[in-house]
């Protein structure tokens, strides 16, 4: 070191060494320990490279795309329940509480093999299980992504606008809500768009509001329905546009309903038009607009979304509206008879025998309906496993045991809890009728479809729903191999 004496240099080096020797020694120890650990973790690291076996097949990416063109059931190679063992278990649970009888069937979803059969071909009153037929017919006829459009048309009289129904009975009173099913199209938004169109055309008030509900024809009320059910609000006269699925409020799902949903909807639209700053004449009447002169329009939720809502909440009014729209899409008349004919037609196209069916409505309120448990199981199988993938969109609509829809307050006791969260099924309830049709993956991973229908039951007997739920829970927990 230039300018530094030898003694000073030696002292400087000694000082630096004293300060650095322990950190350097510690680093060396750590490097040695690290080398030993790595050598232990990776055998052969210090003895040269060795070949590493490839990962198992299930960890590797596919070498080519699958050529399967349909969605297959879960556990296609899982063992089937032994029919004799399944019958032994179900015969213990599938018993009426008092009078009446219960028919039923269990089928393997993949093969269609019948695993349990108790008068499965016998015609029965199915109650709201009818909505399963309506669901597949609507999806088959219109497609899952179709929407219904409500329009405001100009009339030959410039001071008149015509609210025109397009089959959407889930209109909301306020602004359109793109995240909703009920209320996807809102009268508030329609009114604002109409007001803007009138201003642009230089039309000033007062404006007359009319309504065109001619898309649906025939009687608004089905003569097969009990007047007591109508009075109780189970359904209402049907028109081609309605607020809140034919109710005064979306949050009130019982009690009286509007008896003319078309006029009620038009009155609400007139109120929204006035709130948008348009001078509106009092009163609403029926009329016709000019189809090519659209002032405003709003689209409904998709058919798939409406089908799911219908199944989950068992909405009779919505079911009948979807039935009428299925008739329109099938080239028939949008009447009650047209709806049942269209449902029968679409089921036939799916290969489901309909000759023995008797269809008086498409919601299940009519006691004249007659459908077998086997036919319902075949419909459920078409949804879960059939070749028409459009029907898969109905899967989300099935209520989940103990969690959603009409099954949210069931499967809560010890006898049925094994099915909670696993059983997915459409319910059906009338005075002397209880039905349950759906699907479940059993304990071995086999997808099963089932239908249980009780007729002539003692009204109000709590054990009948329990019998259905316990039987479905048997399927959920079943290995059933004897």
Domain boundaries, position 8:
1-35
Residue 78 lies in a domain: no
Active-site residues, by number, are 128, 131, 314
Q: 62-76, 134-148, 255-269, 366-380 — which is least confidently predicted?
A: 62-76
- State whether 216 and 272 are in the same domain: yes
Same domain for 227 and 283? yes
Task: Let me know whether 241 and 188 are in one domain.
Answer: yes
Domain shared by 277 and 226, yes or no:
yes
Per-residue pLDDT tens digits for 115-145: 999 999 999 999 999 999 999 999 999 999 9
- Three-class secondary structure of residue 195 per DSSP: helix
pLDDT band at 431 (very low <50, low <70, confident <90, very high): very high
Q: Are residues 414 and 464 in the same domain?
A: yes
Contact 265, 259 (CB under 8 A): no
Residue 45 lies in a domain: no
Across 235-244, 246-255, 334-343, least confident range: 246-255
Q: Helix (H, G, I), strand (E, B), or coil: what is residue 163?
A: strand
pLDDT at site 274: 97
Say if residue 323's pLDDT is above 90: yes
Instruction: Examine the domain organization and report whether 153 and 108 are in the same domain.
Output: no
pLDDT of residue 53: 54
- Pick from 301, 325, 344: which residue ends a domain? 301
Based on the fold, state whether residues 367 and 460 are members of the same structural domain. Answer: yes
98 and 158 in a single domain? The answer is no
Q: Tokens 């209320």: give the residue.
A: 183
Question: Tens digits of per-residue pLDDT, 167-217?
Answer: 999 999 999 999 999 999 999 999 999 999 999 999 988 999 999 999 999
Across the chain, mean pLDDT equals 88
- The answer, yes or no, to whether residue 388 has pLDDT greater than 60, is yes
pTM reported for the whole predicted model = 0.84
What does the alpha-carbon distance between residue 309 and residue 33 come to, in Å, rounded to a whole number? 65
**Banded model confidence at residue 16, pLDDT cuts 50, 70, 90:** very low
Nearest to 422 by CA among 435, 407, 434, 433: 407
Say whether both 164 and 94 belong to one domain.
no
Query: What integer pLDDT is reported at residue 63 of this predicted model?
Result: 52
Of 468, 466, 383, 449, nearest in space to 134 by CA: 383
Domain count, the chain: 3
């Amino acid at each position: 070191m230039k300018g530094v004496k030898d003694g000073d240099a030696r002292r400087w080096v000694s000082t630096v060494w004293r300060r650095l020797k322990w950190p350097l020694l510690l680093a060396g120890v750590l490097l040695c320990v690290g080398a030993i650990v790595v050598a232990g973790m990776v055998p052969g690291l210090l003895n040269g490279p060795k070949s590493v076996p490839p990962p198992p097949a299930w960890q590797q990416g596919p070498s080519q795309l699958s050529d399967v063109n349909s969605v297959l059931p879960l556990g296609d190679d899982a063992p089937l329940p032994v029919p004799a063992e399944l019958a032994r278990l179900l015969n213990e649970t599938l018993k009426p509480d008092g009078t009446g009888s219960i028919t039923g069937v269990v089928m393997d979803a993949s093969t269609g093999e019948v695993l349990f059969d108790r008068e499965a071909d016998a015609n029965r009153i199915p109650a709201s299980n009818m909505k399963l037929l309506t669901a597949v017919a609507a999806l088959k006829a219109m497609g899952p992504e179709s929407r219904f459009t409500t329009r405001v048309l100009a009339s030959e009289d410039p001071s008149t606008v015509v609210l025109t129904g397009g089959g959407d009975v889930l209109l909301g009173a306020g602004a359109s809500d793109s995240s909703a099913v009920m209320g996807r199209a809102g009268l508030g938004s329609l009114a604002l768009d109409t007001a803007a169109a009138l201003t642009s055309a230089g039309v000033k008030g007062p404006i007359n509001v009319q309504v065109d509900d001619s898309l649906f024809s025939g009687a608004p009320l089905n003569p097969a329905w009990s007047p007591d059910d109508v009075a109780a609000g189970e359904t209402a006269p049907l028109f081609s546009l309605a607020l809140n699925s034919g109710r005064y409020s979306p949050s009130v799902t019982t009690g009286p309903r509007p008896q003319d949903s078309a006029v009620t909807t038009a009155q609400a639209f007139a109120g929204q038009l006035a709130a948008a700053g348009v001078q509106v004449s009092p009163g609403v009447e029926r009329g016709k607009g000019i189809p090519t002169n659209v002032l405003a329009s709003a689209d409904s939720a998709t058919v798939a979304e409406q089908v799911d809502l219908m199944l989950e909440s068992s909405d009779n009014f919505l079911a009948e509206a979807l039935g009428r729209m299925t008739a329109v899409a099938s080239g028939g008349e949008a009447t009650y008879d047209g709806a049942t004919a269209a449902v029968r037609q679409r089921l036939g196209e799916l290969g489901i025998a309909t000759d023995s069916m008797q269809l008086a409505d498409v919601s299940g309120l009519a006691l004249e309906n007659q459908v077998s448990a086997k036919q319902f199981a075949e419909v459920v199988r078409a949804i879960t496993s059939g070749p028409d993938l459009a029907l898969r969109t109905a899967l989300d609509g099935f209520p989940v045991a103990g969690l959603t829809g009409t099954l949210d307050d069931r499967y809560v006791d010890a006898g049925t809890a094994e099915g909670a969260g696993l059983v997915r099924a459409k319910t059906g309830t009338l005075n002397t009728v209880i039905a349950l049709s759906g699907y479940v993956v059993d304990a071995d991973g086999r997808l099963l479809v089932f239908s249980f229908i009780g007729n002539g039951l003692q009204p109000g007997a709590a054990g009948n729903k329990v019998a259905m739920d316990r039987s479905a829970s048997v399927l959920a927990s079943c290995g059933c191999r004897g």
